Amino acid sequence: MDIQNQTVIPVENPINGKVLYEINDNPENVASYYKIADEVQQKIQAMSIKERIAEVDKINQYVLDHSDFILDCIIAETGKARTDAFAAEVFEVGDVIDVYKKLAPKLLKDKNIDMPVFLMGKKCKQYFEPLGTVLVITPWNFPFYQVIVPSLLSFLAGNATIAKPSEVTPLKPLWDHFFANSGFMKDAIQVVFGGKQVGAALIQQRPHKIHFTGSVKSGKIIGKLAAEQLIPVDLELGGKDASIVFDDINMERTVNGVMWGAFTNAGQNCTGIERLYVQETIYDKFVNELVNKTKKLRTSHIDRDTKSPEDCDMGTMTAPFQVAIVEEHIEDALAKGAKLLCGGITEKGSMHMLPTILENCNHTMKIASEETFGPTVAIMKFKTEAEAIALANDSIYGLGGSVWTKDLARGERVARAIKTGNFCINNHMINEANPYLPFGGTKDSGIGRFKGEEGILTFCNHKSVLIDKMSGIIEPHWYPFTNTKAQLLRNLMDSWFQKSRNYIKFAINGLKIDSIGTKEQIK
Ligand code: NAD
């Protein structure tokens, strides 16, 4: 399936290759969505936060009532194992809604802001206002979660939202059903189907904000398109997470945790473990156990015609072009001296890949330096903590990572030393299950933060407001500029900004300055 430059895009079931339906990458008429958004945004803005939460509750209820249907839709287009789809897409949506029902009223409330002493008598506040229309563009690996979560956060902040899901997994049957049955406010979130052309055309309409999740390559293009029109943009991009295993671990727990971190969602996670650094003192035992357990994972590959995703630990790959990248990385690694411990390419181009472990890897290999986004883990050995940190940081990406050790002080030392936006100690990726924690990348992994307090504030205009009384006072820094005023201001600065403040001098100059504006005003 080459989806580039095609107007009609077939959406395929990766489990059996059947075409489910088609969508059009037709960039005409995208302006009509903005017209609708402009109208509905006025209504959303006028709603209280309580009323907006009541709407979001309808999403929650829809997810509870239709979770099996949602899972069926997701699995049909992604080939995920059912538990993967449930945990990361359905359960997580409930969790996000639960948390933001508490967070949103607190965060969107006007905030009283402190002031320097020079502004005595005035008040400062910050308002958190809607931006207008937010454009959400999303990838194919978590097609429900990635669309609904930023959209509902944008809605809670008072915006109209236009969401363009990936052309690989648009979930059209799910969105059609959602809008017909959830009772959620009409047009507050519009889901627009299409590919890159539709995405680019939506950007040309100048949304008030773009929230983009996808690859580094596309992120750079979106960043440029946004910059041309000065549209604020969040870029949640790819990763190449490193996991560091020290020799003081609980072996059983760590092997299980690393195996899940590498292969959950068939490795199609921006924060999946792709690089694994194991301390040499436990290397053989650890790698042996990891390989033994991994070989026992029940994958979609086995008995593929009869096995349903219900029975799998690891589902299929979702996109043929991603399979090609994973294969290219495995072949490149093997050609450069890596040793295949399990998995590998059993049938070229098959969506049913096996969990693949490679050792003797190094950073000249694509599998250790470029995002693979598949069920592979590249293992490397290290001796010292410093060496492990240097290896983990030797990457253009900076999304997530993890360390496994009983020594929590060392765990935190490593967490601080690794240049990523997210990190776990004795776990992996699970930070994302806490909606109170912001998520985002450093380096090529992106710009901005999503979820946490930032998750709502990123969709707001942070308006700074100063409130002064309507008194008769003429401010000393207003016209005319005189030598006396300048000297008083200088005295004020000298008395206040010194290491030891001169309160008496400050008070005397303060009193004089209060009246000088009125005395020396232009008559
Ligand atoms: P992609 O960049 O190819 O596409 C993402 C979305 O952008 C799609 O909807 C696509 O249609 C749209 N798009 C692509 N080019 C565009 C253009 N020029 N103009 C407008 N829209 C355009 O990414 P993908 O292959 O769908 O997703 C996989 C990538 O997403 C991986 O790199 C993965 O790491 C990343 N990802 C990141 C996060 C995160 O939170 N950081 C989460 C999930 C996935």
> 241-434 has which CATH code?
3.40.309.10
Nearest residue CA, atom 40 of ligand 1?
236
Token digits for 35? 């017209």
Q: How far apart, in whole angstroms, are the C-alpha atoms of residue 222 and residue 216?
A: 10
Q: What are phi and psi of 184, to 5 degrees?
A: -65, 145
How far is the centre of ligand 1, averaged over its atoms, from the C-alpha of 200 (Å)?
13
In the chain, which residues fall in CATH 3.40.605.10? Answer: 3-237+454-463
CB of 400 closer than 6 angstroms to any ligand 1 atom: no
CB of 158 closer than 6 angstroms to any ligand 1 atom: no
Q: pLDDT of the chain along its 523 residues, tens only? A: 444 555 899 999 998 899 999 999 999 999 999 999 999 999 999 999 999 999 999 999 999 999 999 999 999 999 999 999 999 999 999 999 999 999 999 999 999 999 999 999 999 999 999 999 999 999 999 999 999 999 999 999 999 999 999 999 999 999 999 999 999 999 999 999 999 999 999 999 999 999 999 999 999 999 999 999 999 999 999 999 999 999 999 999 999 999 999 999 999 999 999 999 999 999 999 999 999 999 999 997 655 455 555 678 999 999 999 999 999 999 999 999 999 999 999 999 999 999 999 999 999 999 999 999 999 999 999 999 999 999 999 999 999 999 999 999 999 999 999 999 999 999 999 999 999 999 999 999 999 999 999 999 999 999 999 999 999 889 999 999 999 999 999 999 999 999 999 999 999 999 999 889 999 999 8
CB of 138 closer than 6 angstroms to any ligand 1 atom: yes
Contact status, residue 233 vs residue 339, Cβ threshold 8 Å:
no
In the chain, which residues fall in CATH 3.40.309.10? Answer: 241-434
Q: Is 236 a catalytic residue?
A: yes
Residue that has been written with the tokens 């041309």 in this structure: 228
Contact status, residue 420 vs residue 408, Cβ threshold 8 Å:
no
Q: How far apart, in whole angstroms, are the C-alpha atoms of residue 514 and residue 47?
A: 43
Ligand 1 probe mutation, 1, 80, 141, most atoms within 8 A of CB: 141
For the whole model, what pTM was predicted?
A: 0.96
**CB under 8 Å to 495, separation ≥6 — which residues?**
501, 502, 503, 505, 506, 509
The top-level CATH class assigned to 3-237+454-463 is alpha beta
CB of 221 closer than 6 angstroms to any ligand 1 atom: yes
**Among 25, 24, 16, residue whose Cα is nearest residue 77:** 16
- Which one of 236, 370, 371, 454 is the catalytic residue? 236
